[in-house]
Amino acid sequence: MPGYLRDRFTEMLKGMLIVNGEGFGVPWLRCDFKTAETIRDIYRYWITDEFRHRFDVTHAQNHLIHRDNPEICEVQFPDMGLKDEWEQACVSRLVYPPLKIIKDHEPALLNLIKSNKEKARGVREIAFQKYAKKHWRTNVTLLQEREWYLEYGRQWAFSEDPLNLIRDLLIGNPSNYRTPEGRIHMIDLALEFFNACAEALVEDIVVEFKIDDVYHQLDCIRYGITESRDGLPTKYNAIFLSNIPDYTGDHLSMVLHALPLLKPTSSPESFVQSNILANPANFTTGLKGTLAEYLLLPNMAYATNTLGLTMLGPSSSTQAMMNLPPFLILTEPHQWGISVPKTLIFKPGFTRWLTQMFFKLALPVPRDLDAEHNNLYRMHQPQTLHQFVRLCIYLVEERNIPKHWVVNLLEAILTGKVSTSATPPIQTPVPFEALKPTPSKTWYMDMFVPELQMLLAYYQPVLPFHILTTLTPLRKYEISFPKIWMDVTRIPPIINVLALMFVNPEVEAIEMEQVFEDFIAYRGEHMQGLMVLMSTFEWHQRGKNFVATWLMESDSVEEMKIRDWKVGVMRTDSWVPIGQPGEEGMLVDVKRAVELE
């Protein structure tokens, strides 16, 4: 950016750091204290110019991979006189400011443009490259967070063709390709987009900033537990999730956390918008494959009937016009709505499906470790039994599923033994064949009972059904793992899903590595009295130690202490224990657990 703009930008940031209030002095802006402080941390990062010498203009000109497209200037922006500017910008990284700003603040650049107008391309490129090195500064807003460079060891390596960006801004609105009056620069085309935004926002609006997990924030809005939201809406016409669901369990997380916040009646119909970008190649059958993987349902009719998930767009005719393979259509924006419960659900099929969802969330399918190095095929589904309980609540509250259908299954699981024709998924993506019923077998659920009891006790005040099994009060515990070896990949944005594994002293480390296979092979019978899995817990670093905090019935914890049980940490995305066999900290005595207030 021009040096004078960088100075103006820095002064503006300094002013926003000292202004009182959480809206930075902007009357139409709302944000809570935590969000405001996080934003201020970013402002401080930009002001310090931490990477000024590492990523200067020379770095931008010499080291950034520039995805320029020679055709875009001539084909999509013909007869606009942009070619000279575009050619030099691909080398100098300098995009002309609007003509009036150049005249008022940078006459030297205006003279440079005029004096080089008739010169050869190579001469012009060198002239602008030298000018940018001398007078312009790095645009720090393009940098990633510090960790990207300091912890992950990444470099600032990519740039973008400015006309590509402008095309993307104006996509879907060809009328905006009109030529503005007078001499234009590339930036003048971009201003068409921002002018349209300004016209739309001229009405009395409020913008709310929130830095948070998106589904946690949606829950806070839904249940009225977010601060500083007086007068702000709690139902929406549109919720744009982009491809966040790629990393959160996709359809299930969207159904449980986003769909309930849509306005029930609106014109046009309210919607949640998302698309799949992280791993569409996994789903060769397109949408049907995603429903099988994330919801264990074979098609949209089942998804609508069971969960209320309705696809509003793109329509089948629009998809046909795209003429794309089914998996590529998933990368396009999809709009989702929620339907009113209508059709009566077949109870045996529903119970079998809900049992299989329990298996899926309690015993996640191991993700392919090789795929950690190829994000195009990496399946992210960091969901736990917590989501299963939320699903049970949703089915009764939102879909009017008979309470006793859900309660009967929960009570059966709490006994530690379930007879069902459902089977745990054993591969990902889940194939359609895995959704079919099998001959009924008995599965032993002891390993999951303490966590399910804990979650039902935790949610008991708001459960829309009554559990007959006695749920005793919960206690909060904390335990420290000293010097534990964290076997986690440093390839972002891989999600490592952890769980606490409580083990009988008779259990050896090698058995911990075979939990998934043994449960499938012996239907959990061999694990009775040997292991307890707790996937709902807090995990953070305190000094050199890692600390786990969890809720559990005190009787269960005291019994484990008496029997000399130990606890370790398991990666349930790969079913690999954290730590090295025999290493101090891999397994810790449960006796070291401290009860918190």
Reading phi first (left if > 0) and then psi (alpha if -120 to 50, else beta), residue 79 is in left
Q: What angle do CA 292, 298, 300 make, to 5 degrees?
A: 100
Read off the DSSP letter of residue 554.
H
pLDDT at 488 over 80: no
> Which tens digits make up the pLDDT trace of 292-339?
999 999 999 999 999 999 999 898 878 877 788 999 999 999 999 999
Tell me how far apart the alpha carbons of residues 355 and 419 are, in angstroms, rounded to a whole number.
10
Reading phi first (left if > 0) and then psi (alpha if -120 to 50, else beta), residue 116 is in alpha
82 band by pLDDT with thresholds 50, 70 and 90: confident
Q: In the numeric block, which tokens belong to residue 81?
A: 């006189």
Between helices 385-397 and 403-414, what is the axis angle to 10°? 160
pLDDT at 97 over 50: yes
Per-residue model confidence (pLDDT) at position 491: 46
3-class DSSP state for residue 265? coil
Match 């010499």 to its residue by tokens. 62
Q: Which amino acid is at 487?
A: D
Tell me how far apart the alpha carbons of residues 386 and 364 are, in angstroms, rounded to a whole number.
13
3-class DSSP state for residue 216? helix
Do 500 and 546 touch, CB atoms closer than 8 A? no
3-class DSSP state for residue 34? helix
pLDDT, mean of residues 464-473: 93
- Lowest average pLDDT, out of 61-75, 152-166, 272-286, 581-595, goes to 61-75
Per-residue model confidence (pLDDT) at position 414: 97
- Which residues partner with 499 through β-bridges? 570
3-class DSSP state for residue 550? strand
The mean pLDDT value of the chain amounts to 87
Read off the DSSP letter of residue 227.
S
3-class DSSP state for residue 540? strand
502 band by pLDDT with thresholds 50, 70 and 90: very high
pLDDT, mean of residues 467-477: 93
Per-residue model confidence (pLDDT) at position 301: 94
Per-residue model confidence (pLDDT) at position 70: 67
- DSSP secondary structure string, 453-507? HHHHHHHGGG-SS---S--PPEEEEEEEEET-------STT----EEEEEE-TT-
By C-alpha distance, which of 74, 149, 89, 78 is closest to 121?
89
pLDDT, mean of residues 193-203: 80
pLDDT at 366 over 60: yes
By C-alpha distance, which of 143, 3, 127, 164 is closest to 59?
143
- Return the percentage of the chain with pLDDT > 70, whole number: 90
**Is 458 buried (19+), middle (13-18) or exposed (0-12) by CB count in 10 A?**
middle
User: For the chain, how many residues are written?
Assistant: 597
Per-residue model confidence (pLDDT) at position 184: 80
Rounded to the nearest 5°, which phi and psi values hold at 226?
Answer: -105, 135
- Return the percentage of the chain with pLDDT > 90, whole number: 55
Per-residue model confidence (pLDDT) at position 68: 65
Per-residue model confidence (pLDDT) at position 583: 60
**Domain ranges in the chain?**
3-200, 212-343, 474-596
194 band by pLDDT with thresholds 50, 70 and 90: confident
Tell me how far apart the alpha carbons of residues 443 and 298 are, in angstroms, rounded to a whole number.
24
Q: Which amino acid is at 275?
A: N
Per-residue model confidence (pLDDT) at position 493: 46
Which residues, 6+ apart, have CB-to-CB distance to 485 below 8 Å? Answer: 578, 579, 580, 583, 585, 586
Residues 19-25: contacts with CB within 8 Å, 24+ apart? 22/228
Q: What angle do CA 524, 585, 509 make, to 5 degrees?
A: 35
Query: For residue 447, what is the enclosing H or E element?
Result: none
Rounded to the nearest 5°, which phi and psi values hold at 427?
Answer: -150, 160
Pairing state between β 65-67 and 158-160: parallel
Pairing state between β 309-313 and 334-338: antiparallel
> Which tens digits make up the pLDDT trace of 328-355?
999 999 999 999 887 778 899 999 999 9
> Which tens digits make up the pLDDT trace of 513-553?
789 999 999 999 988 889 999 999 999 888 888 899 999 99
Q: Of 400 and 178, which is predicted with more confidence?
A: 400
Query: For residue 568, what is the enclosing H or E element?
Result: strand 566-571
By C-alpha distance, which of 186, 174, 224, 225 is closest to 93?
186
Q: In the numeric block, which tokens belong to residue 83?
A: 């070619």
Do 184 and 177 touch, CB atoms closer than 8 A? no
Match 């949640």 to its residue by tokens. 272
